[in-house]
Amino acid sequence: MKKLAYFTALILFYFIAAVLLFVFLFSILSFLELKFGIQIPFVEVVENRGKVHVPFIGLNINVPFNYGVLIMWSVMSYYYIYFYAFKEFLKVFIEKKVFESKSLKRMRFFMILNLLPIIYIIAFSVSFLVRGIPVRLEDDYFIVFAHVVIAFLIYLYLDVLKKGKYVQEENDLTI
């Protein structure tokens, strides 16, 4: 079952990486279509907004032609790294030795990645407050809450692994 979870995460990582690479590439190409009028497959420019059609999964992504595209690319990069770390996190469970420093580093990295959306949501809320727009609780806050819960659970498991590593080191020194 552990190997199935790892291989599912591996497939998910490569699928997400392929989709994000496709969207990244075609969002750049949509800008080129807007500026130079070149017809590019899977790209449509409507009212100065690009629309990328991802084949096979039926996903349509609106591409803004302003600073919003940088935010989109940074979020895509974050989730690329996130799913890579998730794959590495699950790899911990299929290794022969769980109580190693490498496993602890993988888990700590995944925990930190789950805490990063807090910074995003604080900046997002502050930018709304500065512009005088009321902050509404929407999907963004739920996603951040889910990341915080995952980080908390990983922290608990990380603590158990640290104690297990300590016990293993003591047992290795016992004659």
Predicted confidence at residue 115, as pLDDT, reads 92
> Which residues 6+ apart lie within 8 Å of 6 measured at CB?
87, 90, 91, 93, 94
What's 99's DSSP letter? S
**Cα–Cα distance between 75 and 71 in angstroms, integer?**
6
User: Residue 59 forms beta bridges with which residues?
Assistant: 54
Query: Are the C-beta atoms of 68 and 99 separated by less than 8 Å?
Result: no
**Cα–Cα distance between 107 and 157 in angstroms, integer?**
9
| Residue segments in the chain with a per-residue pLDDT below the cut of 70 | 139, 174-175
Which amino acid is located at 99 in the chain?
F
Query: Are the C-beta atoms of 33 and 50 separated by less than 8 Å?
Result: yes
Structure tokens that stand for 107 in this block: 């888990």
Predicted confidence at residue 101, as pLDDT, reads 83
pTM: 0.79
Which residue's structure tokens are 């993988």? 106
Which amino acid is located at 59 in the chain?
L
**Cα–Cα distance between 166 and 175 in angstroms, integer?**
16
Predicted confidence at residue 14, as pLDDT, reads 93
Query: 3-state class of 62 per DSSP?
Result: strand
Predicted confidence at residue 174, as pLDDT, reads 63
